[in-house]
């Protein structure tokens, strides 16, 4: 049985967005790190992680229906 999340990749990470990102299938027990690895996003490029608009880390388990947003490092000043 698979779960589905909404996946959003921002800025320079948009090139990694898969088909069906609005209904992205994951297996139960999938972490954010698993998604990053499966999409071949370099670890250093996935800096800010939000699940359901709350900042989380790579080890967070994803649940069915979650909204996952991944941002690259942010610069500026």
Set out the domains of the chain in order of their start, with CATH numbers.
3-71 (3.10.20.30)
Which pLDDT score, from 0 to 100, does residue 74 have?
79
Q: What is the DSSP letter of 19?
A: T
Which pLDDT score, from 0 to 100, does residue 2 have?
82
Asked if 32 contacts 9 with a C-beta cutoff of 8 angstroms, the reply is: no
Q: How far apart are CA 57 and CA 47, in angstroms?
A: 9
Which pLDDT score, from 0 to 100, does residue 76 have?
59
Which pLDDT score, from 0 to 100, does residue 25 have?
96
Asked if 42 contacts 16 with a C-beta cutoff of 8 angstroms, the reply is: no
Q: What is the DSSP letter of 18?
A: P
Predicted TM-score (pTM) of the model is: 0.93
Please provide residue 45's backbone torsions phi and psi, each rounded to the nearest 5 degrees.
-90, -15
**Residue numbers in the chain where pLDDT is lower than 50:** none
Which pLDDT score, from 0 to 100, does residue 1 have?
74
């Amino acid at each position: 049985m698979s779960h589905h999340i909404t996946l959003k990749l921002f800025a320079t990470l948009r090139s990694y967005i898969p088909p069906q990102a609005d209904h992205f299938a994951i297996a139960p027990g999938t972490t954010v790190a698993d998604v990053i690895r499966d999409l071949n996003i370099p670890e250093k490029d996935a800096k800010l992680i939000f699940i359901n608009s709350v900042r989380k880390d790579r080890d967070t388990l994803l649940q069915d229906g979650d909204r996952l947003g991944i941002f690259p490092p942010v610069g500026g000043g």
